[in-house]
Amino acid sequence: MNVPKRWRAIAIAAISTVALIPGTSFAATLSIWARASSSNAAQHMIDLWNASHDDKIELTTIPDNQMVTKLATSVQSGDVPDLISFDLIFMPDFMRAGLLTDLTDVLGADPNQAKVAQAFKDLATYEGRLYGTGFTPDVSILLYNKDLFRKAGLDPEQPPKTIGQLEDFARKIRASDPNAYGYYFSGSCGGCNIFTQAPMMWASGATLLPSSADGPAMEGTGVKEVLTMLHNMWKDGIIPESAEADTGANFQATFETGTIGMQGSGGFAIAALKANHPEIDFGIAPLPGVNEGDASSFVGGDVIAVPKGSKNADLALQFIQWQLTDDAQLNGLAKNLILPSRSDLADNEFFKAEPRYVTTAQAVGIGKTPYAFHFNDMVNADQSPWLTMLQTAVFDGDVDGAIAGAQETLRSIAAQ
């Protein structure tokens, strides 16, 4: 289309005038990738931001098993999202590979970042620099059936505080009802068990996964004690036989039958049980350690970061800081019964009607996440050293041999 010269001149002058007006800006649209299993939680935060900001954020959901490859290839090609939310266990690998933007200077001076659960701060640090923060947490807890506690003569308001009590309670539950079992775990699921069994080990001071070839691996009080406890319950029929082959498909379903006294689970169990099995009277407690007071948890869920090459990195960082504010943590997460990543907000107005959420949120503050490179190879792979150790110790009874084999293989993976 031919535009008369005088109209072109007027248009150019108008544009120039707008550009020169102090404070004039144009709204931007940022992109964020989130893995599928956390995209619902991420959307709540995005909706709250979009309702109160001119700059908008659009969510793209990425299948969980594609996130690692997709981020790596996008950084190489220069076509990255402005923000990314991903499983926190991949943070060490992403930082070491140089895929993320250094956020130390801004987040280090943010008072809300200081209140974020320590597990997130630890895992998002590489060589003294900070590359992300907590976004949408989940956490492991001990789930127990109060009706089976009562039937076994146990106080339903007093869950086990040590692994010794856990085994004792489990035996009493099994003895009180031939159709009930004291404890359950998915015996062929590495990820399930790093989430639920490992906290009982490191609660007592153990270090499980090495971050270097000569780092500690499956060492310290708690490793042998927890594996021995699980083996004793297995050989004595306190754990159902179906546990051995369970790849995680029945991680929650078996407890939902009402025949399991206790199992490690996650905060997600609260909403699922209340919605689908209101007939089950269940309790939530921290996962115990060897000694009373040694409780811990696996802090899971997602971190948020800015990929290297983000075209709106400054605005993306504004969103990251905003999502740590009281308003975002409470009205974006807690209001929707999602755990806040800030430990100081565990006991909030939205959780008061359901104290089990308070207990679960408090577990975020006392929990940790293993800092390890090649986490998938160490834990999630079908024949991972973590899973092989668990199965050899629990089902075969060779606890010492299982630990020794895992130590050697884990260190060889860490050396890669």
Q: Are 378 and 384 in contact (CB under 8 A)?
A: yes
Nearest alpha carbon to residue 156 among 284, 296, 294, 265: 284
Q: Is 360 exposed, middle or buried (0-12, 13-18, 19+ CB in 10 A)?
A: buried
Nearest alpha carbon to residue 323 among 307, 312, 338: 338
Nearest alpha carbon to residue 409 among 386, 392, 393: 386
CA distance 110 to 133: 12
For 107, the 3-state DSSP assignment is helix
- Phi-psi region for residue 251, left (φ > 0), alpha (ψ -120 to 50) or beta? alpha
Same fold, 27-131+300-366 and 140-298+372-414: yes
- Extended strands (E) in 153-266: 181-184, 260-266
- The residue behind tokens 């906290």 is 199
pLDDT of residue 74: 92
Nearest alpha carbon to residue 308 among 89, 74, 105, 130: 74
Strand 260-266 vs strand 181-184: parallel, antiparallel, or unpaired?
Answer: parallel
pLDDT of residue 6: 43
CA distance 97 to 224: 34
Q: What is the pLDDT along the chain (416 residues), one digit of tens a residue?
A: 444 444 444 333 333 333 334 444 568 999 999 999 999 999 999 999 999 999 999 999 999 989 989 998 998 898 999 999 999 999 999 999 999 999 999 999 999 999 999 999 999 999 999 999 999 999 999 999 999 999 999 999 999 999 999 999 999 999 999 999 999 999 999 999 999 999 999 999 999 999 999 999 999 999 999 999 999 999 999 999 999 999 999 999 999 999 999 999 999 999 999 999 999 999 999 999 999 999 999 999 999 999 999 999 999 999 999 999 999 999 999 999 999 999 999 999 999 999 999 999 999 999 999 999 999 999 999 899 999 999 999 999 999 999 999 999 999 999 99
pLDDT of residue 27: 82
Give me the amino acid identity at 283: G
Residues 6+ away with beta carbon under 8 Å from 117: 134, 137, 299, 341, 342, 343, 364, 365, 367
Tokens at residue 219, please?
A: 């060492």
pLDDT of residue 26: 64
For 329, the 3-state DSSP assignment is helix
Q: What is the Cα 314 distance to its own chain's centre?
A: 26
What are the residues facing 25 on neighbouring strands?
none
Q: Are 274 and 206 in contact (CB under 8 A)?
A: no
Domain extents in the chain: 27-131+300-366, 140-298+372-414
Superfamily of domain 27-131+300-366: Periplasmic binding protein-like II (3.40.190.10)
C-alpha triplet 404, 408, 409: angle, nearest 5°:
115
**Alpha-carbon distances of 403 from 25, 36, 189, 394, rounded to whole Å:** 60, 34, 18, 11
Superfamily of domain 140-298+372-414: Periplasmic binding protein-like II (3.40.190.10)
CA distance 207 to 146: 32
For 34, the 3-state DSSP assignment is strand
The pTM for the full model equals 0.89
